Structure 1
């Protein structure tokens, strides 16, 4: 196991005063970069899928985040944790699978919205970083939920698990990408949302995310009522 410390920053927090979901991917990227620098991970490996499983909310503190990484075949499994007086607490687990990317067709008959890139989304080679791709999918979910659900708004759910499959590099272009999102499953207290980023002809990346009902006032999970479930089901193709 390889362990690296990453400092926390105020800018890491979201509106709920938790570390933003995307920042966990940034912590994991710092850990992988340190592994490359230490010779524990080969440089230039291509991520095919990345999955993050959120276990509990992480709040700002003075202790640096600990990234504990293990290489298992083509997978790099990383725990995002804090060490304290009572021992180690794990807040999320990020699994990155390396290999060969595969193309995918655009999902038909779902709503699309434009998504513009920013130049700071790109790395030195001119492609969007894995962390930024997760951020683009976060934006996609917020855009589609805000525009398509009349009464349910971001903040009423938290992410339980999110997985991204990378199909091709996302490079700078002045015209917006196309984003699509739809709900594939609705449960009592959670739903599954699938989304795609495309250039209009082929899929550049796709994502599957499980979102869990959340009560901001009590900071706890909640079940959906019948009206909320019915509204979520309107986004099932």
Structure 2
């Protein structure tokens, strides 16, 4: 199963050439990741931090008033991290393929922590090993 997030494009997302700036795509991924992890019924209440991003830009995205779709799914779950893979697209038109390694984090103790059983079960619902983290 994949989580779907419809991400609005903002006027400030554009660069001088009228395209969405490359760094803005990280914000799109962040918005989709937060939407995925902080739903009331599936909240990662103990916290998490980003350990790594990979991003492949497939085509330019021109600013327009309609949102893009960010699809995300889980490609790896370890004891103390998991990998979210994303596609930013319109239908079959792919703009970005990316992956983020997320580490559960105990903010009170200021250290990484292991995934809880509840978190592992939630992530398993979105697991798709058939997809590689980022296409070469």
TM-score interval, smaller chain: 0.7 to 0.9
The 5 Å alignment of 1:145-224 reads 145-147=37-39, 150-153=42-45, 156-224=47-115
Give the superposition deviation at 1:213.
1.2
What residue ranges of structure 1 are gaps of 5+ in the alignment? 1-108
The answer on whether the counterparts of 1:177 and 1:200 sit within 8 Å (CA) in structure 2 is no
Work out the CA distance in 2 between the residues paired with 1:229 and 1:157: 14
User: Deviation digits for residues 150-201 of structure 1, max 9, x if unmatched?
Assistant: 1325x71111110110011111111111111111111100001001110222
Work out the CA distance in 2 between the residues paired with 1:149 and 1:190: 21
Residue 132 of structure 2 aligns with which residue? Answer: none
Report how many aligned residue pairs link the two structures.
128
The partner residue of 2:21 within 113, 126, 129 is 129
Residue 168 of structure 1 aligns to a residue whose secondary structure is coil
Give the superposition deviation at 1:140.
1.5
Give the superposition deviation at 1:114.
0.8
TM-score, length-normalised on structure 2?
Answer: 0.85
TM-score, length-normalised on structure 1?
Answer: 0.51
Work out the CA distance in 2 between the residues paired with 1:133 and 1:157: 20
The partner residue of 2:8 within 116, 120, 131 is 116
What residue ranges of structure 2 are gaps of 5+ in the alignment? 129-136
User: Deviation digits for residues 10-46 of structure 1, max 9, x if unmatched?
Assistant: xxxxxxxxxxxxxxxxxxxxxxxxxxxxxxxxxxxxx
* CA RMSD, 1 decimal: 1.8
Higher relative contact order (CA 8 A, sep 6+): 2
Residue 131 of structure 2 aligns with which residue? Answer: none
Work out the CA distance in 2 between the residues paired with 1:176 and 1:217: 37
Instruction: Give the 4+ runs in structure 1 shifted more than 4 A.
Output: none
